[in-house]
Amino acid sequence: MAPANFPAWSPMGETRRVLVTGGAGFVGATLVRRLVDSGWAVRVLDNLTTGDVAHLEGVDAELVEGDIRDAKTLDDALDGIESVVHLAAAGSVVMSVADPATNFNVNVFGTFQVAKPPVDEHSLPKPISPYGASKLAGEGYAHAFAKVYGLGTIALRFANAYGPWSARKRGAITTFFRAINAGEPIVIYGDGSASRDYTHVDDICHALELALDSDVPGGAVFHIASGVETTVQVLADLCRDAAGVPDHPIEYRPKRPGEVERNFASYDLARRVLGYVPTIRREEGIRSTWEWFQESVFVDG
């Protein structure tokens, strides 16, 4: 049941109602704020495994604690909802290698549950980790449901996201900043030449908003990225510079299995169809993320 303060359905569409799964997590914490500020009535469904109630403190959104894999919980959360932004996921490549069964259960079965039927993007994806396979499978179900049942689905393939609210994220920038703050060496797996596209969460959430308001055929897929290739070595240097410790030590270890050597994306299709253009420069975004960590995470450290 929707709470008394959750807007009822309106035939005139004055209030748009959206469910954000995983909305108390890293990307969700930014997206929910933006949607509320834009006039959406937002309900969040999160099991708080990696999300945190504190991420939504002071935000005028309904929080339902529960798991997307539980049918009753999900059905109740969908009551009165027009649109869904599905962000709930097991998001660690390393953890997917250690426990592929759980990764499958959350990312594939969980997406299957959310994408219920009513009752560059042309490259061939070849995942080399259970995480990548699980996300591709979920995307496949979204496409199939769009074509078979007419469900309006859009899949956004995020580049490596970073920014505020990412303290619980298992990612390079978070890991590097924690090492710097603790006075420990930054650990790089491999020789530092592996590359990624790092995209600020504000740009990613802007793309999600554009997708919610778009009118594209169901099953569409878009890459959301910065368009800038960054090696792990360069990323470590940027993090050290942002923290004001350009000579902070780095420790190199053997490359880990399941991780792509080179991975960056073009956002040309998203630009043409959705109007997406990233606005936050890499250096500016990493610097502001370090400042957020200092103010919100390392204050007692």
Q: Give the global pTM.
A: 0.82
Q: Helices 282-296 and 172-182, interaxial angle, to 10°?
A: 50
User: Is 189 considered catalytic here?
Assistant: no
User: If we measure between CA atoms, which residue out of 160, 157, 182 comes closest to residue 169?
Assistant: 160
CB contact at 8 A, 6 and 60: no
Q: What gap in Å lies between CA 154 and CA 156, rounded to an integer?
A: 6
> Averaged over 110-124, what is the pLDDT?
51
pLDDT tens across 221-239, in order?
Answer: 999 999 999 999 999 999 9
Q: Encode 167-182: b = buried (16+ Cβ within 10 Å), e = exposed.
A: bebebbbbebbbbbee
Amino acid identity for residue 256 in this structure: R
Q: Which residue among 131, 162, 198, 267 is the active-site one?
A: 131
Higher pLDDT, 116 or 134: 134
User: If we measure between CA atoms, which residue out of 123, 122, 127 comes closest to residue 107?
Assistant: 127
pLDDT tens across 166-191, in order?
Answer: 998 889 999 999 999 999 999 999 99
Amino acid identity for residue 263 in this structure: N
Token pair of 198, please? 């790092």
Token pair of 268, please? 């040309």
